[in-house]
Amino acid sequence: MVRGKVHLFGGDVNTDEIIPARYLTTSDPSALAAHCMEGAEPKFVKKVEPGDVVVAGENFGCGSSREHAPIAIKAAGISCVVAASFARIFFRNAINIGLPIVTCPEAAQDANDGDEIQIDPAKGRLENLTTGGRFTFEPFSEEIQAIIAAGGLMAFVKNQMSGR
């Protein structure tokens, strides 16, 4: 279960807006977090609190295949990203690093900056506690839930290998 304050963004937020290319000289999560969303909202990292949620329109994470983008979001303390849709490579990269992402166009349209929302990825339920809106989405598969619970694909694989 995820519960947090909404940070609202529009559509077509690309990976360069999430983490500008000039910061790609490192893969250190805390260094990337310091510049998260800088291209879209320069003061984002000063406003975000651990557990908050990014909500956006269509095609979130478009642009390049850089895995730095979901790493920066997760390291900044964002507990989940909800969007009307995601760029496919961003979706895969987010799951690979253990960042929950939810596709729910109706919830994205209902949300306002600062709203409080609650998300149950396993059951496919999202509630905007501010507006009262209740929405459903395709719940995560058991495999995706296990990857996220492990903290990402690499940790999941290490866990699987150590269990043999």
Give the pLDDT of residue 99: 97
Both tokens of residue 57? 């329109």
Q: Which of 159, 56, 152 is nearest to 95 (CA)?
A: 152
Query: How does the average pLDDT of the chain come out, rounded?
Result: 95
Domains of the chain, residue spans: 2-162
pLDDT value at 102 more than 70: yes
Q: What are the tens digits of pLDDT across the range 24-49? A: 999 999 999 999 999 999 999 999 99
Distances (CA, A) of 75 to 39, 58, 93, 108, 142: 17, 23, 14, 22, 24
Q: If 0-12 CB within 10 Å is exposed, 13-18 middle and 19+ buried, where does residue 111 land?
A: buried
pLDDT value at 163 more than 80: no
Distances (CA, A) of 6 to 15, 51, 153: 19, 10, 26
Give the pLDDT of residue 64: 82
Both tokens of residue 61? 């994470």
Give the pLDDT of residue 162: 86
Q: How much is the pTM?
A: 0.94
Q: Mean pLDDT over residues 116-142, rounded?
A: 96
Give the pLDDT of residue 49: 96
* 125 Cβ contact list (under 8 Å, min separation 6): 119, 134, 135, 136, 137
Give the pLDDT of residue 164: 58
Residue with tokens 């990976």: 15
pLDDT value at 139 more than 70: yes
Distance between CA atoms of 87 and 84, rounded to whole angstroms? 11
Q: What are the residues facing 125 on neighbouring strands? A: 120, 136
Both tokens of residue 30? 């805390």
Superfamily name with CATH number, domain 2-162 = Aconitase, domain 4 (3.20.19.10)
- 3-state class (DSSP) for residue 154: helix
Q: What are the tens digits of pLDDT across the range 40-77? A: 999 999 999 999 999 999 999 999 888 999 999 999 99
